[in-house]
Amino acid sequence: MSEFNPEEMIMRFRERAAAVRRRGLPPVEGPDRQRFLQAATIDFQDFAMLGDASATLEDGILRLEIDLRPRPSGVSD
């Protein structure tokens, strides 16, 4: 097994968030459609947050830092 790289893990979460965004809707209707959309929204949110994390690995401890503070108006990435 290769050495764990936290930055590679962060990239995988970014890719997963993008995949959720691109994912089409299956042919479901009614309440099942709404549940699918809600699950996709939560999946995207979770993957995107982890994709924005700063990761450090020190002495076998993985630390993820995610800044959830609102951005000031006019500031973008």
- Choose between 33 and 74: higher pLDDT: 33
Cβ atoms of residues 47 and 13 within 8 Å? yes
Q: Show Cβ contacts of residue 36 under 8 Å, excluding neighbours closer than 6 positions.
A: 25, 26, 28
pTM above threshold 0.85: no
Residue 68 within a domain: no
Whether the per-residue pLDDT at 3 is higher than 80: the answer is yes
44, 14 in Cβ contact below 8 A? no
- Number of separate domains in the chain: 1
Is residue 15 included in any domain, yes or no? yes
Domain presence at residue 14: yes
Q: Considering just the CA atoms, what is the radius of gyration of the chain in Å?
A: 16
Q: Determine the structural domain holding residue 31 and report its residue range.
A: 6-63
What does residue 59 show for φ and ψ, rounded to 5 degrees? 50, 40
Whether 55 is in a domain gets the answer yes
User: What are the pLDDT digits (tens) for 12-56?
Assistant: 999 999 999 998 888 889 999 999 999 999 999 999 999 999 999
Domain membership of residue 74 (yes or no) is: no
Which residue bears the tokens 């890719």? 15
Q: Is residue 37 part of a domain?
A: yes
Joined tokens for residue 68: 């959830």
